[in-house]
Structure 1
Amino acid sequence: MLLSWLTGLGAGLIFLPFLQKLLFPYFWDDFWFLLKVVRYGMQMEMNKVRGELVTVLDKFLSHARRQPKKPFIIYEGDIYTYQDVDKSSNRVARVFLNHSSLKKGDVVALLMSNEPDFIHVWFGLAKLGCVVAFLNSNVRSRSLLHCIRTCEPRALVVGGDLLGCIEEILPSLPQNVSVWGMKDSVPEGIVSLKEKLSVSSDEPLPRSHHVASSLRSTCLYIFTSGTTGLPKAAVISQLQVLKGSVGLWAFGCTADDIVYITLPLYHSSASLLGIGGCVELGATCVLKKKFSASQFWSDCKKYNVTVFQYIGELCRYLCKQPKRDGEKDHWVRLAVGNGMRGDVWRQFLDRFGNIKMCEFYGATEGNICFMNHTGKVGSVGRTNFFYKLFFPFELIQYNFQKDEPMRNEWGWCRPVKKGEPGLLVSRVNMKNPFFGYAGSSRHTKNKLLFDVFKKGDVYFNTGDLMVQDQENFLYFWDRIGDTFRWKGENVATTEVADVIGRLDFIQEANVYGVAVSGYEGKVGMTSIILKPNKSLDIEKIYDQVVTSLPAYACPRFLRIQKKMETTGTFKLQKFQLVEEGFNPLKISDPLYFMDNLKKSYVPLTKEIYDQIMLEEIKL
């Protein structure tokens, strides 16, 4: 009896791993990843108990003492060690300490391209306890002036190559803003920071200048991309910087990695996850002034890159490059980023080798983050019971017609079922705060939902539609501003863009909805850029959309552009296109209309436009 019992137990123990693999295939992946998250959280709590508020700047200073000669930044072949960056940032701090009235807590705006001086100025101002506002180096004129006024800086530091765009708006700047240029010769009204740095001391400043009073204190302003209007300045606390900086570590990066950053430093992905991530690890960063698809892999080989950051369409641009010999001959083992479409993901791995794609989800100002630690193609991350205990969130039903969350007869929001798209909302509490935006409190309040599931609860509205599958993987579906409703159905712009983008003559497809008088909702329109030396085949486009998409999702209008505006993070600009609509009298680009009788797209003439507006042609 005992023997048979022991035999049964032994067989059960042997069979247990197979049962676990069958029923809970991601158990150990989830377990070890959760253990890392808990471990880091406990470390932060222990620091708090000991009265130690350790910031990313403190961690950088620690590395500068322990490994002064280790390369921190490699830029255009030049090496900047941890000690070099420490001393250069000391010079910046000394200049402002001795030649300005800046004090702890003052805001300084930074307008600079990707270069080592961006980090020198950022860290130098941080050593004075200043709040640094990263300005988008691509914005100009009215938008740039709006950003500067929003964050209310006492000073503005401008890169040498961007002084021209500041000169344009110099007379319109607030009078209390001093402007500093990173160039020896600067226009009138601007102080030469470079000149003063050449004679500045590199002696360290007392820690009392930058010691944080709380991890909730503001240390940065990072502007949103502005895809649907003027950018907003997200308030970034010391806590958010710390959380962002552990992303590379959480995905398995180490101090021995060499991280390639081609994304703009004014955005949180490059600055917090990239630079902050290298500081957390004590690793080396290869910084590129601007992303170049043609130079990407040669740079990776030249600098022995092991990890690179991606966002948006970067990997798709790489896949569209002409094929070369030895494309898998590199040391890259990890790629960390977000916004990768599933089809591009597979194509990228097939072409460039066994690179683990570490996709994550998170908004600059958001209080929720997902990380795909398993490498599941197309997913932005996973969730489980334990994750939701630490980071409570829900996917709720959304009314596209009214452009608001659905509520039942008692006024509560309703979660969606697995497999259905829902609006991602994240609970705001002491553990997961939302710090809002600088300037208008209206913007901050507009990102919050109140009384969602019970009286008094508050949730952060991400504005993103997500789908959770049966295995608890999460997938990005669309933005609520991008998704539009037509013929009583919800149209996901990403789905339509994917279908059109498969045509071999299409370089880019930007899908959006436009209002038409007399119709409910918005009708689909697609702006298209052709590949070089390729011609437009409107019959093929017609065949592609009608065979691959439901009728309500087929774009009724096409616009052929030579250039498409994007944000600094490769997101397609849609706001202006939506505003311009499809009027051929106002748009100089070629326009086409879907003619189902002719089974093709036809040129959109004034006559056809008038017939549509008079409802003589039904959409």
Structure 2
Amino acid sequence: MITFLLCAVFTLLAILPLVLYARNRYFIDDLRQAFTMLRIGKRLVSYKKQKPLYTIVDRFLDKVTEHPHKTFIVFEGSRFTYSQADKESNRVARALQAAHGGLEEGATVALFFGNEPDFVWTWLALLKLGCTVSLLNSNIRTKSLLHCFSCCAAKVLVAAADLRAAIEEVLPTLQEQGVRVFLFSEDCGVKGIESLSDKIQQASDQPLSPQLRSNINMKSPALYIYTSGTTGLPKAATINHERLWQSSFMHAISGVRSDDIIYLYLPLYHSSGMLMGLCGAINEGITIILRRKFSASNYWNDCRKHNVTVIQYIGEIMRYLCNSPQRDNDRDHKVRLAIGNGVRADTWAEFLHRFGDIKICECYGATEGNIGFVNYIGKIGAVGKENFLHKMTFSYALVMYDTEKEEPVRDSRGFCIKVPSGETGLLVVKIGERTPFTGYAKNKQQTEKKKLRDVFVKGDLYFNSGDLLRIDNEGFVFFQDRIGDTFRWKGENVATTEVADLLLMMDCIEEANVYGVKVPGHEGRIGMASVMLKENMDFDGKAIHQHVKDYLPSYARPRFIRIQHDLEVTGTFKQKKVKLTEEGFNPGAIKDPLFFLEDKEGYVPMTQELYNAIADGILRL
């Protein structure tokens, strides 16, 4: 009898994997991913228990001790070891301390840089001093620059030398606010701007005391990263030290090794470049090949030259690479892993076919969001994969959404309605201790707008992601669209209200409705504006072009303008965008006058020939 029972038990154990595989063919992958997440979670718990708090700068210092002579950053022909980076950041910290006696733990300092080593040294220096760092987009100017600087209550601004002109434009206002401005130059010569490079050269490179940041905890703000929204101006998402750690673990989740070399060209002022890229690289102690900006023509040559094994991307990058001229050595590289988000299924497949067997680890998340998905399987087109541990950790759902009313659909009891498996819905995530939503700095109104109450039961509270997703019956997550007044173009979020406000500054424009439209062969949506002209006034294409060129970065300028007699609004006077978005910019289907932005000529009449050239990929946008 005992022998029979033992045989039965062993038989059940033998067939159990087959049963589990039959129900979920990705069971082993899910289990492996769950173990990875548990291991990372254990590390994070141990960091939380350490007194003082173990931060990313402590991780960096540990890597300095482990391999001081290992290359940390390669930039435009120069190499900097972990030890050199440590000493450079010590000099910057001491120079700032000497120049600004009030720069201490808890202070907020804004950085205004493009991608360069000085950005990294200054960020590390401020972390060593216990400061919170506000990362300003180096493309913003005037009104947006002042708004972003002011909304995080910073009293110190540190800028790159090549952004001096942008600083001078807003200097009078900064001086009125009592702001100290430091420029990375040896001699400035402008009253109100202090040089910093000369002070750094004279400063000591000796280590700073950890006591300078001894009161920092996991909930303390580490960074402010800006994200566009319905207010029309960027919002400062608060990234605390816990969130910073969570994002930096993306490298470990994706399989990055300590001997890898990563190619980093995404802006360090964005969450992808800073949190996943720089912080992720520090966490693993790897080498970074840092580049100022993306270049399709130099991309693979850089990868070959520096033996790059890991790349980061946004979807548009993949398309640019696929559209570049084919070469015989397209597969001649050592890249084995690509980490990022936003790549379309067709581009994904083409990228693999052309450039070889590279593991693509697509992920989903928002700078201010409280959930993330990772496609650890590699299924083409999916932004993530559910598993049992993920469902236990996060409480989320896809709910029905009314795109006309721009709100979730609610039942007779006033609760949201979950969509069936395989259908598209708005992603909402319960806000709780394990999934907090820290919101936006000095912007309670916009923080509240991202919260949904009474979602499934009275009194519950959820984060509104603003994204429409679909989850199939195997647990794969697919991004469908973005709702609200923000669209994405060239890897940047564009706030429609900000663009509309700028258009309304023109004498000839009475009303403006800005939205994003799809373009064949392109990720995201490109900017388009429907405008109503003032009575007895004509459309001034050249003046409008000069205006948007002066005030907006290239990715935010409306590429198409449609002239309408009246702009449609809803019953609550919200401008209707859905129909306009669907109609796009085809002059053959639209009777209203249409204009196209040519870089040299300004806004010119949109013709069928122009439309065909864009649709056929002859004219690149």
**d(CA) in 1 for partners of 2:69 and 2:486?**
51
- For residues 588 and 512 of structure 1, do their structure 2 counterparts lie closer, same or farther at Cα, with a shift above 3 Å needed? closer
Q: CA deviation at 1:12?
A: 6.9
- For residues 592 and 211 of structure 1, do their structure 2 counterparts lie closer, same or farther at Cα, with a shift above 3 Å needed? farther
- For residues 70 and 313 of structure 1, do their structure 2 counterparts lie closer, same or farther at Cα, with a shift above 3 Å needed? same
Question: Alpha-carbon deviations, 1:513-553, whole Å to 9, x = none?
Answer: 96964686442358999xxxxxxx978xx8xxxxxxxxxxx
Alpha carbons 2:596, 2:603 under 8 Å: kept:
no
What is the DSSP-based 3-state SS (H/G/I as helix, E as strand, rest coil) of the residue aligned with 1:132?
strand
**d(CA) in 2 for partners of 1:527 and 1:563?**
24
Candidates 523, 526, 532, aligned match of 1:510: 526
1:615 alignment partner in structure 2: none
Equivalences for residues 422-571 of structure 1 within 5 A: 422-481=425-484, 497=518, 500-502=519-521, 510=526, 517=567, 521-522=576-577, 523-525=579-581, 560-562=596-598
What is the DSSP-based 3-state SS (H/G/I as helix, E as strand, rest coil) of the residue aligned with 1:216?
coil
1:149 alignment partner in structure 2: 150
Letter matched to residue 132 of structure 1: V
Q: CA deviation at 1:433?
A: 0.9
Q: Which runs of 5+ in 2 are unaligned?
A: 488-514, 531-563, 571-575, 613-621
Q: CA deviation at 1:139?
A: 0.7
Candidates 233, 242, 245, aligned match of 1:242: 245
Question: Alpha-carbon deviations, 1:486-510, whole Å to 9, x = none?
Answer: xxxxxxx99x83xx514xxx89963
2:557 alignment partner in structure 1: none
- For residues 517 and 166 of structure 1, do their structure 2 counterparts lie closer, same or farther at Cα, with a shift above 3 Å needed? closer
Alpha carbons 1:512, 1:526 under 8 Å: kept:
no
- For residues 220 and 8 of structure 1, do their structure 2 counterparts lie closer, same or farther at Cα, with a shift above 3 Å needed? closer
- For residues 225 and 316 of structure 1, do their structure 2 counterparts lie closer, same or farther at Cα, with a shift above 3 Å needed? farther
2:223 alignment partner in structure 1: 220
Alpha carbons 2:52, 2:216 under 8 Å: kept:
no
Alpha carbons 2:238, 2:438 under 8 Å: kept:
yes
Identity level (%): 43
**d(CA) in 2 for partners of 1:4 and 1:239?**
53
1:534 alignment partner in structure 2: none
Whether 2:269 is the aligned partner of 1:253: answer no
Alpha carbons 1:509, 1:528 under 8 Å: kept:
no
What is the DSSP-based 3-state SS (H/G/I as helix, E as strand, rest coil) of the residue aligned with 2:150?
helix
Letter matched to residue 220 of structure 2: S
**d(CA) in 1 for partners of 2:592 and 2:581?**
6
1:571 alignment partner in structure 2: none
- For residues 426 and 160 of structure 1, do their structure 2 counterparts lie closer, same or farther at Cα, with a shift above 3 Å needed? same
Alpha carbons 1:111, 1:159 under 8 Å: kept:
yes
1:570 alignment partner in structure 2: none
- For residues 193 and 14 of structure 1, do their structure 2 counterparts lie closer, same or farther at Cα, with a shift above 3 Å needed? same
Is the deviation greater in 221-230 or in 255-264? 221-230
- For residues 187 and 589 of structure 1, do their structure 2 counterparts lie closer, same or farther at Cα, with a shift above 3 Å needed? farther
Alpha carbons 2:344, 2:523 under 8 Å: kept:
no
1:487 alignment partner in structure 2: none
Question: Alpha-carbon deviations, 1:93-134, whole Å to 9, x = none?
Answer: 101222202121111100001001001000101111111100
Q: CA deviation at 1:67?
A: 1.0
Q: CA deviation at 1:453?
A: 1.2
**d(CA) in 2 for partners of 1:171 and 1:519?**
40
Letter matched to residue 417 of structure 1: P
1:28 alignment partner in structure 2: 28
Letter matched to residue 178 of structure 2: N
Q: CA deviation at 1:156?
A: 0.3
2:550 alignment partner in structure 1: none
Normalising by the residue count of structure 1, what TM-score does the alignment of the two structures yield?
A: 0.81
**What do you get for the CA RMSD once the two structures are aligned?**
3.1
Letter matched to residue 318 of structure 2: C
- For residues 311 and 470 of structure 1, do their structure 2 counterparts lie closer, same or farther at Cα, with a shift above 3 Å needed? same
Normalising by the residue count of structure 2, what TM-score does the alignment of the two structures yield?
A: 0.81
Letter matched to residue 156 of structure 1: L
Equivalences for residues 171-320 of structure 1 within 5 A: 171-173=172-174, 174-188=176-190, 189-225=192-228, 229-320=232-323
Is the deviation greater in 123-132 or in 510-519? 510-519
Whether 2:435 is the aligned partner of 1:379: answer no
Is the deviation greater in 83-92 or in 438-447? 438-447
Q: Which runs of 5+ in 1 are unaligned?
A: 485-492, 530-536, 543-553, 565-586, 595-599, 602-619
Equivalences for residues 324-363 of structure 1 within 5 A: 324-363=327-366
Q: CA deviation at 1:53?
A: 2.3
Letter matched to residue 184 of structure 1: E
What is the DSSP-based 3-state SS (H/G/I as helix, E as strand, rest coil) of the residue aligned with 1:295?
helix
Question: Alpha-carbon deviations, 1:538-593, whole Å to 9, x = none?
Answer: 78xx8xxxxxxxxxxx99996533359xxxxxxxxxxxxxxxxxxxxxx9332369
Equivalences for residues 14-25 of structure 1 within 5 A: 17-25=17-25
What is the DSSP-based 3-state SS (H/G/I as helix, E as strand, rest coil) of the residue aligned with 1:501?
coil
- Matched residue pairs, number? 540
Q: CA deviation at 1:229?
A: 2.4
Q: CA deviation at 1:152?
A: 1.9
Is the deviation greater in 327-336 or in 6-15? 6-15
- For residues 23 and 526 of structure 1, do their structure 2 counterparts lie closer, same or farther at Cα, with a shift above 3 Å needed? closer
What is the DSSP-based 3-state SS (H/G/I as helix, E as strand, rest coil) of the residue aligned with 2:397?
strand
